[in-house]
Structure 1
Amino acid sequence: MMITMTDSSVSRVAVVTGGSAGIGAAAAEALAHDGWHVVVAARRLDKLTAVAERIGGTAVELDVTDQASVDSFAAGLDRVDLLVNNAGGARGLEPLAEADLEKWQWMYDTNVLGTVRVTRALLPRLRESGEGLIINIGSKAALDPYLGGSGYNAAKFGLKALTRVTRLEEIDAAAGVRVTEIDPGRVATDFSLMRFDGDEARARAVYEGKENLVAEDIAEAIRWVASLPPRVNIDSMNIMPRDQG
């Protein structure tokens, strides 16, 4: 796979991590409808391929926790105009006193360091674009700590700080890239299925009886931010369902 600057069939190139399902897949579809060539990236290549075929994009296997995987992915891209750092997730609900450090490590490695690895690898291409944009998908968990969320809260607070610092650094850069954070509230996806180790009943209970967002709601926000002229930088967006405080 190689997406090049000189490929006449490609206008603008968007990379969406965690693109095999949920918000990532919905964002890829929304961007494709706006004329982007979308490179969807995640570990589940079978699901990625289905997304890419549906939108006319490119599917590339990527593990954001593995530097070699990120390096290989970046080497295949000669052009990137938009990076949507969507790969992430939560594991466990243990309080701090019972913290499972393996789960904490995974959450930090995926949500924070995964974003660092991919952003650092693709930043030269984004700067070369002249209109580069990074959209980091955060969470309401970065704004409001909650019981059972200590590890995920910490990771998403870390991502929020990283996003802000990246924007400040890029303001001073010669070919600065715009940086946006989108913090969704409760979105009905398979997010909770991972948190509950595949327990479908517990995952469903998170959303039952509530007015939930759907992945397409967040995808529309991503599409809108990416559609704005280069002079505009949306700093952050908090998107909640109507019944969530």
Structure 2
Amino acid sequence: MTITLITGANKSLGLETARRLLEAGHTVYAGVRDPASADAVRALGAEVVQLDVTDQASVDAALASLPALDVLVNNAGVLGTSFGVDDLSAEAMQAVLDTNVLGIVRVTQAALPLLRASDAPVILNVASGVGFPRYLQDPARDEYPVPAIPYAASKAAVITLTVQYAKNLPGFRINASDPGYTATDFNGHGGHQTVTEGTDATVALALVGADGPTGEFHDRHGRVEL
């Protein structure tokens, strides 16, 4: 039995990831800030745990409630309130980093004792092509028009911390996924991909075996060369 924790699992990409991993036979614990808003993921058959990635006490309590852990999907993230330079402030930047980057560190560090006890520990960090400088500079890419600084910087940090965690934990499989331009609340459901397409890379990397890739960044078509 593979036990999986997904943060931010109550809607959009997190909810679809939970559905697909449950379908693959995982026992899924859905980490959500407000369990009262988790009816959709609960209906799928996931176990709901209260987990706010910005609150260390919440993170610690959530991980302490798990019987074991094999796969961690760090999916929780926020877009933030700054979308250019004129509305950018240190506070706006800090708020995004607190969830999108420090949140991953809080959850991952708290999860390490359980993951180290697993025969095949896996960590998947949901990043974004918006965090990949080459994409931001390519007018042919969906990411090119995005002006937001905090979100892009946070996802660049996620890609880098994934590589560094993988180097530090060679017995783990640790990777980052790019959902692509997917129709979610983040973009007013304007993306051209479905949530199923947007979770292809996340699910594939959550299902890797002990001989799978590590320290890599993938989209739904495969590895993205860093």
What is the TM-score when the length of structure 2 is the normalising length? Answer: 0.86
Indicate the residue corresponding to 1:183 in structure 2. 178
Larger Rg: 1
Could you say what secondary structure the match of 1:41 adopts? strand
Q: Deviations over 1:129-160 (max 9, x none)?
A: 02000000001111134552111111111111
Q: Deviations over 1:70-129 (max 9, x none)?
A: 011111113000000000021234433541333211110000000000000001111110
Structure 2 matches for 1:199-214, cutoff 5 A?
203=188, 207=190, 212-214=192-194
Q: Which runs of no fewer than 5 residues in structure 2 stay unpaired? A: 137-143, 222-226
Q: Deviations over 1:183-215 (max 9, x none)?
A: 1221101123xxxxxxxxxx35xx2xx6x1121
2:130 to 126, 135, 141: 141
1:16 to 6, 27, 39: 6
Q: Partners of 2:97 and 2:202 in 1: how far apart? A: 23
The answer to whether the 8 A contact 2:28-2:47 is kept is: yes
Counterparts in 2 of 1:148 and 1:72: CA distance versus 1, 3 Å: same
Q: Partners of 1:52 and 1:148 in 2: how far apart? A: 36
Q: Which one-letter code corresponds to 1:160 in the other structure?
A: I
The answer to whether the 8 A contact 1:48-1:60 is kept is: no
2:38 is equivalent to residue 58 of structure 1? no
Q: Please tell me the root mean square deviation across aligned C-alpha atoms, in Å.
A: 1.8
Q: Partners of 1:219 and 1:154 in 2: how far apart? A: 22
Indicate the residue corresponding to 1:197 in structure 2. none
The answer to whether the 8 A contact 1:93-1:148 is kept is: no
Could you say what secondary structure the match of 2:199 adopts? helix
Query: What is the aligned residue count?
Result: 210
Could you say what secondary structure the match of 1:181 adopts? strand
Deviation at residue 50 of structure 1 after TM alignment? 3.0
Could you say what secondary structure the match of 1:184 adopts? coil
Q: Which runs of no fewer than 5 residues in structure 1 stay unpaired? A: 1-10, 193-202, 241-245
Indicate the residue corresponding to 1:198 in structure 2. none
Could you say what secondary structure the match of 1:96 adopts? coil
Runs (4+) of structure 1 moved beyond 4 Å? Answer: none
Counterparts in 2 of 1:148 and 1:86: CA distance versus 1, 3 Å: same
Indicate the residue corresponding to 1:169 in structure 2. 168
Deviation at residue 46 of structure 1 after TM alignment? 2.4
Q: Partners of 1:94 and 1:222 in 2: how far apart? A: 26
What is the TM-score when the length of structure 1 is the normalising length? Answer: 0.80
Q: Partners of 1:178 and 1:229 in 2: how far apart? A: 8
Q: Partners of 1:151 and 1:22 in 2: how far apart? A: 21
